[in-house]
Amino acid sequence: MKNIVIAVIMLMSGAGITTAQVQTVKNQQLKTRKMENTEKPKYETNPFTLVYDGAITENVEGKVNIHPVKYKINDIDIVANVYTPPNYNPSGKYPTVVVAHPNGGVKEQVAGLYAQRLAEKGYITIAADAAYQGGSGGSPRNVDKPANRIEDIRAMADFISQFQGVDTNKLGLLGICGGGGYSLAAAQSDKRFKSIATLSMFNSGIVRKNGYANSALNTIQDRLNQAAEARAQEAAGGAVQYVGDMKTFPTEEQLAKMPFDLYREGTIYYGKTYAHPNSSGKYTTSSLMDLMLFDASANMDLIQQPLLMIVGGKADSKYMTDEAFPKAIHAKTKELFVIDGATHIQTYWKPEYVNQAVDKLLAFYSKYL
């Protein structure tokens, strides 16, 4: 979530910070410097440019294999990775899970991690880069409109439903961070998804409108005016304007001043420890015209499928899951699973929390797919 880091620093630089926060940032930065001095970036050492821990480095018979694929959404080229389980037989029938990546993320990061972990246990999975983002096509770059992200999820279902071995009667959905919010919206009307899970759900529209934890309520109209001006400039052939276009990595002091764990830890995750060149937190300013009308927690009563929402107990984004979950009044069954001690970003990479999330997902999908 490095997409509004600079804005947060500008708006919240006066927030109080503790010595412990400063020391934590310094320790993380020290670890990162050591990695930079001794190792190539992870994406350069993996033939599939995967950056998550434990990533596949080659396709070996009898083990999980990764299949880079391409398809189109209208005229836009989409790139995706399909993971097949150990001893995959194309003539077989396998439960399948569509995985939607976080805002600013790409398929080679946390979405790929969970796709691979599920494939290891017998699932076919797919993780794609959103249209206009990552390795997928679309211009201008980094358009971030809810309708597009929801269509990305439906298009993954379209493609994977034609993949050999997929049991379309056992099609599940997993959305992570912003992908979680868009997965809730997609599942409300797309009943091909037989069960839905979210991890560290992020309600993109509400945050873009109100600010994180309602921290920008007094600038809503100003930002809408900026979005309108940016769209007018684009229509006239002018330069595309962006929010969160971070040119340089923040200093230790800037990181320490970030008032929310999600932004501070997300900046390090996306910018250093699990960086990928296709990942970018910026988005077109004109996208705010659409984003600020979106609420992932709206129409939750349309979800009738089984629902699992996983969230870190220490995540400062937890309030978004807490707001959405009770509204799923017609879900066949629903569960809110809290990972004690985990922050939002730690559910992306920290083994003890990832393992808990994966175990819960496996239990959920095995019962409801």
Contact 306, 191 (CB under 8 A): no
3-state SS class at 230:
helix
Rounded Cα–Cα distance for residues 228 and 212 (Å): 22
Quickly state the pLDDT bin for 12 (edges 50, 70, 90): very low
Rounded Cα–Cα distance for residues 23 and 31 (Å): 12
Residue 41 has pLDDT above 90, yes or no: yes
Residue 34 has pLDDT above 70, yes or no: no
Of 296, 335, 342, 292, the closest CA to residue 318 belongs to 342
- Secondary structure letter of residue 218 according to DSSP: G
Quickly state the pLDDT bin for 88 (edges 50, 70, 90): very high
Helix 261-268 with 5-12: angle, nearest 10 deg: 140
Query: How much of the chain, in percent, has pLDDT values that exceed 90?
Result: 86
Quickly state the pLDDT bin for 13 (edges 50, 70, 90): very low
Range of the domain at 70: 2-368
Quickly state the pLDDT bin for 30 (edges 50, 70, 90): low
Q: Which two structure tokens, joined as six digits, stand for 203?
A: 């309600």
Contact 215, 11 (CB under 8 A): yes
What are 251-282's pLDDT values in tens digits?
999 999 998 999 999 999 999 999 999 999 99
**Residues contacting 322, CB < 8 A, separation 6+:** 311, 336
What are 93-148's pLDDT values in tens digits?
999 999 999 999 999 999 999 999 999 999 999 999 999 999 999 999 999 999 99
Q: Which two structure tokens, joined as six digits, stand for 102?
A: 């976080």
Give the pLDDT of residue 38. 58
Please count the structural domains in the chain: 1
Give just the sign of the alpha carbon dihedral 102, 105, 107, 113. negative
DSSP strand pairing (334-339 vs 166-176): unpaired
What does residue 195 show for φ and ψ, rounded to 5 degrees?
-155, 150
Of 195, 202, 159, 165, the closest CA to residue 180 belongs to 202
Contact 346, 265 (CB under 8 A): yes
- Secondary structure letter of residue 3 according to DSSP: G
Give the pLDDT of residue 162. 98
In SS3 terms, 35-72 reads as HHHHCCCHHHHCCCCCCCCCCCCCCCCCCCEEEEEEEE
For residue 271, how many other CB atoms are within 10 A of its CB?
19
Average pLDDT for 238-261? 91
Contact 79, 139 (CB under 8 A): no
**Residues contacting 124, CB < 8 A, separation 6+:** 82, 83, 84, 85, 88, 94, 95, 96, 97, 160, 163, 165, 166
- Secondary structure letter of residue 270 according to DSSP: I
3-state SS class at 309:
strand
| DSSP-derived secondary structure for 236-249 | TT-PPPEES---SP
Residue 19 has pLDDT above 90, yes or no: no
Q: Which two structure tokens, joined as six digits, stand for 74?
A: 């209208």
Mean pLDDT, rounded, of the chain: 92
Alpha helices in 236-287 (DSSP H): 252-257, 261-268
Quickly tell me which residue has 């960086």 as its tokens.
275
Quickly state the pLDDT bin for 16 (edges 50, 70, 90): very low
Give the pLDDT of residue 242. 97
Quickly state the pLDDT bin for 1 (edges 50, 70, 90): very low
What does residue 352 show for φ and ψ, rounded to 5 degrees?
-65, -30
Residue 14 has pLDDT above 60, yes or no: no
Greater confidence, 275 or 36? 275
Quickly state the pLDDT bin for 11 (edges 50, 70, 90): very low
Give the pLDDT of residue 246. 80
Rounded Cα–Cα distance for residues 195 and 212 (Å): 29
C-alpha dist (Å) from residue 234 to 55, 246, 282, 284: 40, 21, 16, 10
Q: What is the CATH number of the domain that holds 332?
A: 3.40.50.1820
Contact 102, 179 (CB under 8 A): yes
